[in-house]
Amino acid sequence: MVNLGSKKPPLSSVILIFRIPYYTQWGQSLLISGSEPALGAGNVKQGLGLVPVHQGEELIWHGKISVPIGFQSEYCYYLVDDNRNILRWEAGKNRKVSLPEGIKEGEVMEIHDLWQPASEALFLKSAFKTVIFGGSLNSDPKFPFETNQTDENQEDSIVVLFKISCPTIEEGTSVYVTGSVSQLGQWRIEDGLKLNYTGESIWESYSVVRKVDFPIKYKYYQSCNQRGASMEIGPYRELALDMTSGSIPKYVALSDGSFRAIPWRGAGIAIPMFSVRSNDDLGVGEFLDLKPLVDWAVETGFHLVQLLPINDTSVHGMWWDSYPYSSLSVFALHPLYLRVQALSEKIPLDLKKEILLEKERLDRKDVDYEATLAAKLAIAKKIFNLEKDEILNSSSFLKFLSDNEEWLKPYATFCFLRDFFGTSDHSQWGRFAQFSKEKLEKLISKDSLHYDVICFHYYIQYHLHLQLSDAAAYARRKKVVLKGDLPIGVDRNSVDTWVHPNLFRMNTSTGAPPDYFDKNGQNWGFPTYNWEEMSKDNYAWWRARLTQMAKYFSAYRIDHILGFFRIWELPDHAATGLVGKFRPSIALSQEELEREGIWDFDRLSRPYIRQNILQVKFGARWTVIASCFLNEYAKQCYEFKDDCNTEKKIIEKLGLRTEKSLWAGNEVEVQRGLFDLLQNIVLIRDPEEQGKFYPRFNLEDTSSFQDLDDHSKNVLKRLYYDYYFHRQENLWRQNALKTLPVLLSSSDMLACGEDLGLIPSCVHPVMQELGLIGLRIQRMPSEPGLEFGIPSQYSYMTVCAPSCHDCSTMRAWWEEDEERRYRFYQNVIGSNDEPPSQCTPEVANFIIHQHLLAPSMWAIFPLQDLLALKEEYTNRPAKEETINDPTNPKHYWRYRVHVTLESLLKDEDLKITIKDLVISSGRSYPTSEAEIKNKQQVENIQSKISSIQFNGD
């Protein structure tokens, strides 16, 4: 701890005093860690410890050091425990301190900081800095301390540096400070102190203030020629100094955080790329369709377009590959989204006719995944054969190949081997089953017979890159954020598992425990991650993924963010998602259970199958089922035979032709019954650690549990609750704080986390701390005891939506349950009338406007929900608009919007309806010079709703 008592500084040194208000809990303190030895040289344990003092209602932490003239350093504040273990740190980039020119030996400089919360740092992300507010600042940075002023040397004066962050400032705006002293205009707007832009959204200037004028009261304001001046909201700021101490500062540097404005709120639309329909597409939405989609977003008042994953998923060579979350490669783009007409300006006439015929053939209600992909690749191959020499030798292509060779060469080789062997299961590839760079170089050699095949995959990815880059640049120019999607897993038969098998636990499968979507849980089939191995190179694979995404997107959704805290891990022989365990988690040890009087582990961990259970479940067929699948190991006690003792083995045996006649027409019922028997356990044995057990999810629902004695039931219920809701919280928090910061620092994209499902209590605090925006779906409230979420009570750091791709649309949900519809109509809409049987435009208008009015930073709407605002677009059966059915592992992802983008762009009524809703909610929307009056209308509305409570950081 640095001595804070009075001590004469050495010659050629000055004194730096740091001050920051921060409330701590018992056992916590603040310290500063910086790049110079005086601040620990990057070692938090050696940083400058601060001490607290109460100042009015604030707790001020402060510390003092002597530094040489010319001292410069980067630094950051940390919250630590008594052993200086890090509990929390500031968001955003490191701070910088440099002494002003002209400072003299022995003089004092005070630095008054405010903690940088993650919510403020979000506005420095590319979604805001480059897109929404991109190009706003054209002036060169200026540095306010560089010029000496004669007033600086006055003995009765103090030089005060005012510094404010204005990340949401618009072009043509200047920043000022006004206050109680003459140097700040004495609250006269026209005489305020103008600040200089110094880069990174920071505005600074200094003023020389007499000591007798302290304390100073002040506020910042912005001034624009078109709209005049706007003062920051909230109480005035105050700078008070202790004039009685022996260290009266000559310089005071104020770091006042962000300009206090009504929180910025935006709106967006969500639609999968494959679902878009345009006049130019060939059977499916294409990357270049993003341009008219962006135009429609702008004209309806939206700042964001959100897509599902767009990576190549061509694993099986059939419609199963329509599942966008099962990546063949986390780097390669999907050939499905290629516009073949844009491949060349010299397409022959006969090929143009072929394209037109295919467009007509594939212009269907839904996507025909297999036919569309086959048609595109066939046409692309013909164009490639015509111009391959010209393209492959072009400087643009060669640069693309050089920039992306780390992933592109293995990807192209994988595609060749997949097609050659007729399977993506690389374990079936003989000597190529094991990846090596030496084998790769031979396979991609220009001398190989299949070199053209390899180059064709390069060619496809090159044009996909050009087309998506073109669309992304167009969105940036229109101030529309493109938001991508980061899948939690990869297919077990993927390029990534082939090249990096050490990064995956290939004998496991990823899923989710039972939840709103499926009472049996979900099994996604992906191998879980080997986080221990990934950490050895600081998660280079993840960092590369995020870097690649950032080439096209300025925001992204982290799919199943809970997986970065803990993942639901299943054995690879499981077909459902029920009998799993969390990884990592603290298992129940055999010793722990024995201390509690639990000892019959075989009884608790093997399927509990008794004759009476079979008779109830299968009725008269129970003897047939038992003879086929079970052995009687004791009187009226059964166990599964070896050929059907897993879920996948049961599925395989049920499909055998020789035995199908025994349960013809009842396969689904029999399978479900057998699965129930297999899952009728209380404890799951750890397959890797002997003597470790995990409580089965919803164990109280099993007859195995119900037949236990009362003591065992009470013990197991208590241990179950502890395992799922208490035991792991600190472990999961630490796990997320190892991995998520690496992801977030890997790119400049704005990150949102899909935090639906069984949410551990550690998740939301960590997300808030890291600046991760959560998701709120009204029909799936995270608050206990609520049937419907209350958008007006959502915290600011959220995305709110009435529905998402993983659930039914607003219209379909309305029609699903009559009693629920009554409750929503009465409790949310506030009407005792009989609700309409369908989601009318009036109902859709209410729900959409309710979400737009929410305090959430973003309100994002599936395009289908927006189309419900106009009766003309509700003729299609509502169920057909659903994108995904999470309960069906073989769901066909093929929904297409039934109206083209060109038609939507011509529909002025719908555009006006939506834009009026956005404007009336006070949300920001893309503007041009001609729309400044409408912008003023928005700001007037924003001021009226400023009483809304914006929760969160």
Of 46, 119, 121, the closest CA to residue 78 belongs to: 46
In SS3 terms, 625-666 reads as: HHHHHEEEEECCEEEECHHHCCHHHHHHHHCCCCCHHHHCCC
Report d(CA 849, CA 776) in Å as an integer.
15
Report d(CA 459, CA 373) in Å as an integer.
16
Two tokens at 37? 């030895």
Of 308, 313, 456, the closest CA to residue 382 belongs to: 456
Asked if residue 904 lies in contact with residue 296, where contact means CB atoms within 8 angstroms, the answer is yes
Q: Is the CATH number of domain 10-116 2.120.10.30?
A: no
Asked whether residue 2 carries a pLDDT value surpassing 90, the answer given is: no
Asked whether residue 424 carries a pLDDT value surpassing 70, the answer given is: yes
Of 504, 527, 524, 500, the closest CA to residue 513 belongs to: 524
Of 409, 393, 611, the closest CA to residue 498 belongs to: 409
Q: Which pLDDT belongs to residue 925?
A: 81
Q: Which pLDDT belongs to residue 6?
A: 44
A 10 A CB-CB count for 489 gives: 24
Asked if residue 859 lies in contact with residue 799, where contact means CB atoms within 8 angstroms, the answer is yes
Query: Residue type for 107, please?
Result: E
Q: Which pLDDT belongs to residue 613?
A: 95
Lowest mean pLDDT among 278-282, 453-457, 487-491, 511-515: 511-515
Q: What's the whole-model pTM score? A: 0.91
Burial (0-12, 13-18, 19+ Cβ within 10 Å), 230: middle
Of 152, 167, 172, the closest CA to residue 223 belongs to: 172
CB proximity list for 396: less than 8 A, separation 6 or greater: none
Q: Which pLDDT belongs to residue 758?
A: 79
Two tokens at 267? 């709106």
Two tokens at 547? 């870097």
Asked whether residue 5 carries a pLDDT value surpassing 50, the answer given is: no
Query: Residue type for 218, please?
Result: Y
List phi, psi (to 5°) of 349. Answer: -60, -40
Report d(CA 363, CA 615) in Å as an integer.
52
Asked whether residue 397 carries a pLDDT value surpassing 50, the answer given is: yes
CB proximity list for 611: less than 8 A, separation 6 or greater: 622, 636, 637, 638
Report d(CA 19, CA 50) in Å as an integer.
9
What distance lies between CA 493 and its chain's CA centroid? Answer: 25
Asked whether residue 136 carries a pLDDT value surpassing 60, the answer given is: no
CB under 8 A, 24+ apart: contacts of 655-658: none
pLDDT one-digit tens code per residue, 696-744: 999 999 999 999 999 999 999 999 999 999 999 999 999 999 999 999 9
Two tokens at 191? 């005489």
- What is the percentage of the chain residues whose pLDDT exceeds 90? 83
Q: Which pLDDT belongs to residue 200?
A: 87
Asked if residue 797 lies in contact with residue 766, where contact means CB atoms within 8 angstroms, the answer is no
Q: Which pLDDT belongs to residue 927?
A: 66
Strands 13-21 vs 58-68: parallel, antiparallel or unpaired:
antiparallel
Asked whether residue 115 carries a pLDDT value surpassing 90, the answer given is: yes
Asked whether residue 934 carries a pLDDT value surpassing 90, the answer given is: no
Q: Which pLDDT belongs to residue 706?
A: 96
Lowest mean pLDDT among 96-110, 143-157, 759-773: 143-157
Across the range 69-91, mean pLDDT stands at 93
Two tokens at 363? 């212009």
Interaxial angle between packed helices 290-299 and 451-477, expressed in degrees from 0 to 180 and rounded to the nearest 10: 10
Residue matched to tokens 């969500």: 270
Report d(CA 509, CA 571) in Å as an integer.
6
Of 901, 940, 738, the closest CA to residue 296 belongs to: 901
Two tokens at 860? 């994002």
Domain boundaries, the chain: 10-116, 117-246, 267-506, 570-721
Across the range 312-330, mean pLDDT stands at 97
Asked if residue 307 lies in contact with residue 334, where contact means CB atoms within 8 angstroms, the answer is no
Report d(CA 622, CA 617) in Å as an integer.
8
Asked if residue 305 lies in contact with residue 358, where contact means CB atoms within 8 angstroms, the answer is no
The DSSP code sequence of 500-532 is -GGGEETTEEEEE-S-SS-TT-EE--PPEE-HH
pLDDT one-digit tens code per residue, 741-781: 999 999 999 999 999 887 899 999 999 999 999 999 999 99
Q: Which pLDDT belongs to residue 344?
A: 96
Asked whether residue 144 carries a pLDDT value surpassing 70, the answer given is: no
Q: Which pLDDT belongs to residue 119?
A: 85
Asked whether residue 932 carries a pLDDT value surpassing 70, the answer given is: no
Strands 588-589 vs 692-695: parallel, antiparallel or unpaired:
antiparallel
Q: Which pLDDT belongs to residue 660?
A: 64
pLDDT one-digit tens code per residue, 851-883: 999 999 999 999 999 999 999 999 999 999 999
Element (H, E) at 510: strand 508-512
Report d(CA 889, CA 523) in Å as an integer.
8
What distance lies between CA 864 and its chain's CA centroid? Answer: 22
Q: Which pLDDT belongs to residue 947?
A: 39
Two tokens at 220? 């910042």
Report d(CA 478, CA 303) in Å as an integer.
9
A 10 A CB-CB count for 906 gives: 10
Strands 173-179 vs 216-224: parallel, antiparallel or unpaired:
antiparallel
Of 237, 53, 57, 202, the closest CA to residue 123 belongs to: 202
In SS3 terms, 238-304 reads as: EECCCCCCCCCCCEEEEEEEECCCCCCCEEEEECCHHHCCCCCCCCCCCHHHHHHHHHHHHHCCCCE
Asked if residue 863 lies in contact with residue 270, where contact means CB atoms within 8 angstroms, the answer is yes
- What is the percentage of the chain residues whose pLDDT exceeds 70? 93
Task: Go through the chain and tell me how many residues it has.
Answer: 953
Give the 3-state secondary structure percentages of the chain, helix then strand then coil, rounded to 5: 40, 20, 40
Asked whether residue 146 carries a pLDDT value surpassing 90, the answer given is: no
Note whether 117-246 and 267-506 share their fold: no
Across the range 154-158, mean pLDDT stands at 84
Two tokens at 454? 């390899």
Two tokens at 555? 């925001």
List phi, psi (to 5°) of 531. Answer: -60, -35
Report d(CA 268, CA 852) in Å as an integer.
10
Two tokens at 946? 């400023």
pLDDT one-digit tens code per residue, 325-371: 999 999 999 999 999 999 999 999 999 999 999 999 999 999 999 99
Instruction: State yes or no: cis peptide before 584, omega within 30 of 0.
Output: yes
Terminal-to-terminal C-alpha distance of the chain: 30
Across the range 377-392, mean pLDDT stands at 97
Across the range 481-487, mean pLDDT stands at 97
Report d(CA 598, CA 592) in Å as an integer.
9
Find residue 75's DSSP bridge partners: 34, 95
Burial (0-12, 13-18, 19+ Cβ within 10 Å), 665: exposed
Instruction: Share the mean pLDDT of the chain.
Output: 91
pLDDT one-digit tens code per residue, 491-501: 999 999 999 99
Residue matched to tokens 């808030």: 768
Of 677, 674, 631, the closest CA to residue 653 belongs to: 674
Asked whether residue 282 carries a pLDDT value surpassing 90, the answer given is: yes
Instruction: State yes or no: cis peptide before 889, omega within 30 of 0.
Output: no
Across the range 649-660, mean pLDDT stands at 80
Report d(CA 314, CA 645) in Å as an integer.
32
Q: Is 475 helix (H, G, I), strand (E, B) or coil?
A: helix
Two tokens at 716? 């197991």
Asked if residue 511 lies in contact with residue 326, where contact means CB atoms within 8 angstroms, the answer is no
pLDDT one-digit tens code per residue, 162-197: 999 999 888 789 999 999 999 999 999 999 999 999
Burial (0-12, 13-18, 19+ Cβ within 10 Å), 334: buried
Asked if residue 846 lies in contact with residue 917, where contact means CB atoms within 8 angstroms, the answer is no
Asked if residue 804 lies in contact with residue 884, where contact means CB atoms within 8 angstroms, the answer is no
Q: Which CATH class for the 267-506 domain?
A: alpha beta
Q: Which CATH class for the 117-246 domain?
A: mainly beta
Report d(CA 415, CA 494) in Å as an integer.
10
Asked whether residue 540 carries a pLDDT value surpassing 90, the answer given is: yes
A 10 A CB-CB count for 636 gives: 11
